[in-house]
Amino acid sequence: MKNEASAILLISCPDRQGLVCAVTDFLMRHNGNIIDLEQHVDTEERVFFMRLEWELNGFALPRDQISEKFSLIASRFEMKYELHFSDYKPRLAIFVSKFPHCMLDLLARQSSGDLNAEIPLIISNHTDLEPAARMHGIDFHCIPVSKDNKAAQEAKQMELIKQYNIDVIVLARYMQVLSDNFCRNYPNRIINIHHSFLPAFVGAKPYHSAHQRGVKIVGATSHYVTGDLDEGPIIEQEVMRVTHRDSVESLIRKGRDLEKLVLARAVWAHLQNKVLVYKNRTVVFG
Amino acid sequence: MKNEASAILLISCPDRQGLVCAVTDFLMRHNGNIIDLEQHVDTEERVFFMRLEWELNGFALPRDQISEKFSLIASRFEMKYELHFSDYKPRLAIFVSKFPHCMLDLLARQSSGDLNAEIPLIISNHTDLEPAARMHGIDFHCIPVSKDNKAAQEAKQMELIKQYNIDVIVLARYMQVLSDNFCRNYPNRIINIHHSFLPAFVGAKPYHSAHQRGVKIVGATSHYVTGDLDEGPIIEQEVMRVTHRDSVESLIRKGRDLEKLVLARAVWAHLQNKVLVYKNRTVVFG
Amino acid sequence: MKNEASAILLISCPDRQGLVCAVTDFLMRHNGNIIDLEQHVDTEERVFFMRLEWELNGFALPRDQISEKFSLIASRFEMKYELHFSDYKPRLAIFVSKFPHCMLDLLARQSSGDLNAEIPLIISNHTDLEPAARMHGIDFHCIPVSKDNKAAQEAKQMELIKQYNIDVIVLARYMQVLSDNFCRNYPNRIINIHHSFLPAFVGAKPYHSAHQRGVKIVGATSHYVTGDLDEGPIIEQEVMRVTHRDSVESLIRKGRDLEKLVLARAVWAHLQNKVLVYKNRTVVFG
Amino acid sequence: MKNEASAILLISCPDRQGLVCAVTDFLMRHNGNIIDLEQHVDTEERVFFMRLEWELNGFALPRDQISEKFSLIASRFEMKYELHFSDYKPRLAIFVSKFPHCMLDLLARQSSGDLNAEIPLIISNHTDLEPAARMHGIDFHCIPVSKDNKAAQEAKQMELIKQYNIDVIVLARYMQVLSDNFCRNYPNRIINIHHSFLPAFVGAKPYHSAHQRGVKIVGATSHYVTGDLDEGPIIEQEVMRVTHRDSVESLIRKGRDLEKLVLARAVWAHLQNKVLVYKNRTVVFG
């Protein structure tokens, strides 16, 4: 079943009666077979969210007419929506600095078919990981960034992103802060991994701060990047227990496993079109 | 919002097109405001599951007509369904032996309003916990069970369950095996806590077996009771890490916290009408 | 074995060669049978920590001479040390406000023998939990605290603590900030439960803040109380996953289980004399 | 500090007085500076375990005399012991079949310096992973195994293990059962990853069994391999929550992350000489 292509609608709108009925009625009228339906109502904000996946096989509308037809319902209910197809492979760019673990983990997942994505481009401010990128047959561009050349270098990055038709940018322990301007160009399309349990220990050297504070659990957080450092909408978090025996080095070593796992889960959820953003929070369907 | 009464439908039926549409259309036609909707399709078994909760306030049908009206849809789609109202307080009987922790935890939750339930009856095969029951103002019946008197004593238990109008039986570390006959009388209405991560370590003394096997994690499992010991549908499980330093006594001590937590979560999910059983498995909505 | 009384030494000192040897030699010379030995060296700070437990049965020194004899070794190595006996039952005072769950959990543990402690005193700034305290046969004192009467009321509290010979004060969701003066009187003897994963969400209403920030995991933290609010040495933390489906009310409900568990574990570790404090951090032996 | 070489003693013997004292006295007499000391007493079995790590820099005995000198103490206390040096890089052979994830994870860890080991040899019963092995510059030998040729093919494997001076064999989802004879040749030196929370779901297709049973948590287990399939001493386990929404395919996908993590932790603990085996259980120091 998963081998057959499916269509996915991600919907959000003001909550009111008849939403589920209207959407499922639309599908039924065109002979759509629902594979998965999830909805959520934020009762405080009175916002309705829905993810709907149905088989394209047997669906009465051709792909290129679905959005047009659905827009009638959407406008009636003031819906924002995205339409995706499961057989499209999104194109990822990975941004790295010197730490290889997150990048290598994503590449291993991609090569073994775990990620439904292409990875044609790796950008770094250092050359350390160029051999690993080349070994995997991926184009590697070194674009060193300093205070003085940031705007110009980000322009180069954006040019590459355009040239490679990149859909999603993954910051796999990229140790540069992106400018507001850069972030605004890719809303909810830049995924970062921060090596702490946000909002604890924002900023640099979170493992040092965690050790200093004597916490008994450390974590990692993956979030969409906005202009506010470490403040973007959280997609996924995970933690592990530590003890007084863990030095800063030990936290860093163990933390790498958290970082890999949390980033991979966040990227996977994004690629499955399971994430909706509102009010700096996310709805992540199961 | 939660203060207002709501109605809950739990539905299962063979999967086919139009199910969500038909059910939500039914609600809309009677002006029902959906609070929560969850559905699940077991694609292997081709079975559809749904939990639907809507506000009674403003709903066009009086309570006693909902089931009758809905049965028309139900029969069209071969649905099995249950209808519940959030302001009904189910009545629990707790079965215990000598260990107090699960019982005391449930009573504390009940007294602080965490459980939407009445607890009018405690049954035990020992008298040890009678003072604690009385302290909480709950009727306590000691019904000792032996191989020879089991049928007769279970008859007394069933008589009390009837007399007290019990909806759900919670085995809070009750150290007797219930007969097939007893179990069949309360399908999916007897909730047990087993002190291991099932299916590992079925039967007696699971902490001893876990210690013997040298596992690094121990668990607890709450499940509906069937005639097959420790084989009923699992509602909830939880685990905790242990080390070589943990003796059997230490596992037993730490395990009590797991047992309390897992049983309480399972009872809570059941009382919220979030659990559906099929093929000896459960769907537990979020 | 655990039934027999044991002695416990908690030691900290500057790290240097021969420490373990000197201490274990002292025991051996007096025919001490070691039950448990744990040591830790903070290699950055060059501090040595040790917990040593041995059987009193067969030990050549009477209890009242152990400290005197050991002080010779202690002074040679500049050791700070505490000597405890496992058959002494520390006396706890519980401070509460209106939420009963942590208090009831501790009382249930105490009554079933899980806590090696007496609980003769409960102090509250409200009368809500007086009936529960009385039901358990524990003296309850209502001492309302306002901005204006704080010093006077804390004086009453300290008088009661003295009168009841209290060893440890447990703040079981006590919603008042203790003064610097009060805290300084009981260093490392006041244990608090904070309903967040510190240092995230210090201060009031952490579940609201967690919901607002959209975290995917919430936690609870137990720590010794110092004059700096929510900044004392952390003893224990635990977390649980949440989703976009969890409202603030749901976080509060689920969080209660974390709070109970984390506070109970911290109190247990303290009562087992397994906690050492230094530089606002703790060593918690296993 | 970790950069300097250290020596590690792993000791087990019948428990009696004076063990810690005797061992630490030995170190002190030769001017040994203890970096880490952990001990454990199994009070039921009356067995003593110890791991002792000290700096070689400044130690009065040359490496090749340590064992000889220590053997005097060892024989007095009937100790079994191993002596290791932290700057020796153990040599690993990885056995694989068709699933790449565990192998790729170990290779990524090795290449980024996370594993203190050489990996000169990969053996598989299939050719699928040969390109990945070659890409990492590691010798790959395909040795297909069938019922009929098992003894002969295992002889070839053992010959390679000898030829490459292999210290540890890691079964990274190797889908063949090793013979008793093979296992006996490498006691506590073959590390396997089993894709379930042992002892639940031994044997083939554990994810299918887990799905069938309807468990709410799945796990993975790393253990030393003995002649009894899936019955060897457990080194490490980890689990993750699943729901009714997880199909068998979803369990398999999520489980890969568990398998990678658990195997890597077990290999790491073994390589740090932190694991002691007795009575089919392990002591894993922290």
Chain B touched by D152 (CB under 8 Å): no
Residues 6+ apart with CB under 8 A from A44: C247
Q: End-to-end CA distance of chain D, in Å?
A: 18
- Looking at the complex, report in whole angstroms how far the Cα of residue A32 sits from the nearest Cα belonging to chain B: 7
CA torsion, ordered D180, D185, D188, D189, to nearest 10 deg:
-120
Question: Is the peptide bond preceding residue B199 cis, with omega within 30 degrees of 0?
Answer: yes
Q: Which of A101, A243, A261 shows the shortest C-beta gap to D257?
A: A261
Task: Kindly report, residue by residue over D85-113, the tens digit of the pLDDT.
Answer: 999 999 999 999 999 999 999 999 999 89
* CA distance linking residue C33 with residue B74, whole number of Å: 73
Could you tell me how many CB contacts below 8 A there are between chain B and chain D? 79
Residues 6+ apart with CB under 8 A from A135: D135
Give the pLDDT of residue C1: 42
**Contact residues, chain C, for D18 at CB < 8 Å:** 24, 28
Q: To probe the interface with A, which of C44, C215, C275, C282 has the most A CB atoms within 10 Å?
A: C215
Active-site residues of D, by number, are 230
**Contact residues, chain C, for B104 at CB < 8 Å:** 108, 111-112
Describe chain D by its helix, strand, coil percentages, rounded to 5.
Answer: 35, 30, 40
Chain B touched by A151 (CB under 8 Å): no
State the average pLDDT for chain C: 96
Confidence of residue C112 (pLDDT cuts 50, 70, 90): confident
Active-site residues of C, by number, are 230
Task: Kindly report, residue by residue over D114-146, the tens digit of the pLDDT.
Answer: 999 999 999 999 999 999 999 999 999 999 999
Task: Answer for the pair B138, B120: CB distance below 8 angstroms, yes or no.
Answer: yes
Give the pLDDT of residue A1: 41
Task: Answer for the pair D94, D124: CB distance below 8 angstroms, yes or no.
Answer: no
Task: Kindly report, residue by residue over D21-64, the tens digit of the pLDDT.
Answer: 999 999 999 999 999 999 999 988 999 999 999 999 999 999 99
Task: Answer for the pair C32, C57: CB distance below 8 angstroms, yes or no.
Answer: no
Count of Cβ atoms closer than 10 Å to residue A130 Cβ = 14
Provide mean pLDDT across the span B233-261: 97
- Looking at the complex, report in whole angstroms how far the Cα of residue C260 sits from the nearest Cα belonging to chain A: 17
Could you tell me how many CB contacts below 8 A there are between chain B and chain C? 40
Amino acid identity, residue B107? L
The verdict on a CB contact (< 8 Å) between B239 and D217 is: yes
Chain A, 231-270: which have a CB under 8 Å from a chain B CB? 241
The verdict on a CB contact (< 8 Å) between C36 and D35 is: no
Going from N- to C-terminal start, the domains of chain B cover: 6-85, 91-284
Confirm or reject CATH 3.50.80.10 for domain D91-284, answering yes or no.
no
Give the pLDDT of residue D264: 98
In terms of CA atoms, which chain B residue is nearest residue A46?
Answer: B35
Residues 6+ apart with CB under 8 A from D285: D38, D40, D51, D274, D275, D276
* CA distance linking residue C164 with residue C83, whole number of Å: 22
Count of Cβ atoms closer than 10 Å to residue A121 Cβ = 23
State the average pLDDT for chain D: 96
Give the pLDDT of residue B115: 92
Chain D touched by C41 (CB under 8 Å): yes
Describe chain C by its helix, strand, coil percentages, rounded to 5.
Answer: 35, 30, 40
**Contact residues, chain B, for C286 at CB < 8 Å:** 243, 245
The verdict on a CB contact (< 8 Å) between D100 and A111 is: yes
Task: Kindly report, residue by residue over A102-153, the tens digit of the pLDDT.
Answer: 999 999 999 989 999 999 999 999 999 999 999 999 999 999 999 999 999 9
In terms of CA atoms, which chain A residue is nearest residue B22?
Answer: A21
* CA distance linking residue A206 with residue A224, whole number of Å: 19
Residues 6+ apart with CB under 8 A from A139: A120, A121, A122, A133, A164
Confirm or reject CATH 3.30.70.260 for domain D6-85, answering yes or no.
yes
Provide mean pLDDT across the span C217-246: 96
- Looking at the complex, report in whole angstroms how far the Cα of residue D232 sits from the nearest Cα belonging to chain B: 9
Please report the DSSP string for C169-232 in residue order.
Answer: EEESS--SPPPHHHHHHSTTTEEEEESS-TTTT-SS-HHHHHHHHT-SEEEEEEEE--SSTT-S
Note the Cα D103 to chain centre separation in Å.
15
Residues 6+ apart with CB under 8 A from C205: none
* CA distance linking residue D239 with residue D220, whole number of Å: 6
**Contact residues, chain B, for D216 at CB < 8 Å:** 234-237, 284
State the average pLDDT for chain B: 96
* CA distance linking residue A243 with residue A205, whole number of Å: 19
Amino acid identity, residue B163? Q
The verdict on a CB contact (< 8 Å) between A104 and D108 is: yes
Give the pLDDT of residue D1: 42
Q: Which candidate in B64, B114, B128, B230 is catalytic? A: B230
Chain B touched by C227 (CB under 8 Å): no
Task: Answer for the pair B211, B248: CB distance below 8 angstroms, yes or no.
Answer: yes
Chain D touched by C37 (CB under 8 Å): yes
Q: To probe the interface with B, which of C96, C99, C103, C105 has the most B CB atoms within 10 Å?
A: C105
Q: Are strands D234-241 and D275-278 parallel, antiparallel or unpaired?
A: unpaired
Describe chain B by its helix, strand, coil percentages, rounded to 5.
Answer: 35, 30, 40
* CA distance linking residue C11 with residue C19, whole number of Å: 10
Confidence of residue C78 (pLDDT cuts 50, 70, 90): very high
The DSSP H or E segment spanning A85 is strand A80-85
The verdict on a CB contact (< 8 Å) between D111 and A100 is: yes
Give the pLDDT of residue A229: 86
Maximum CA extent, chain B: 63
Chains that touch C (3 or more CB pairs under 8 A): A, B, D
Confidence of residue A3 (pLDDT cuts 50, 70, 90): low
Per-residue pLDDT at B41 exceeds 60: yes
Per-residue pLDDT at B1 exceeds 50: no
* CA distance linking residue C160 with residue C154, whole number of Å: 10
Q: To probe the interface with D, which of B45, B217, B226 has the most D CB atoms within 10 Å?
A: B217
**CA distances (Å), origin D209, targets D203, D205, D213, D215, D222:** 10, 7, 6, 9, 19
Give the pLDDT of residue B229: 86
**Contact residues, chain A, for D137 at CB < 8 Å:** none
Chain A touched by B158 (CB under 8 Å): no
Chain C touched by D175 (CB under 8 Å): no
State the average pLDDT for chain A: 96
Closest of A91, B257, B136, A53 to residue C132, by C-alpha = B136
Helix, strand, or coil here: D190? strand
The verdict on a CB contact (< 8 Å) between D28 and C37 is: no
The verdict on a CB contact (< 8 Å) between C237 and A214 is: no
Please report the DSSP string for A159-187 in residue order.
Answer: HHHHHTT-SEEEESS--SPPPHHHHHHST
Amino acid identity, residue A153? Q
* CA distance linking residue D232 with residue D219, whole number of Å: 17
**CA distances (Å), origin A283, targets A48, A230, C43:** 11, 18, 44
The DSSP H or E segment spanning C278 is strand C275-278
In terms of CA atoms, which chain B residue is nearest residue C238?
Answer: B240
Q: Are strands D6-14 and C217-224 parallel, antiparallel or unpaired?
A: unpaired
The verdict on a CB contact (< 8 Å) between B17 and A31 is: yes
Q: End-to-end CA distance of chain C, in Å?
A: 18
Q: Which of A17, A34, A38 shows the shortest C-beta gap to B28?
A: A17
Task: Answer for the pair C258, C267: CB distance below 8 angstroms, yes or no.
Answer: no
* CA distance linking residue A60 with residue A54, whole number of Å: 12
pTM over 0.95? The answer is yes
The verdict on a CB contact (< 8 Å) between D105 and A108 is: yes
Provide mean pLDDT across the span C132-157: 96
Chain A touched by B4 (CB under 8 Å): no
* CA distance linking residue A238 with residue C240, whole number of Å: 10
Chains that touch A (3 or more CB pairs under 8 A): B, C, D
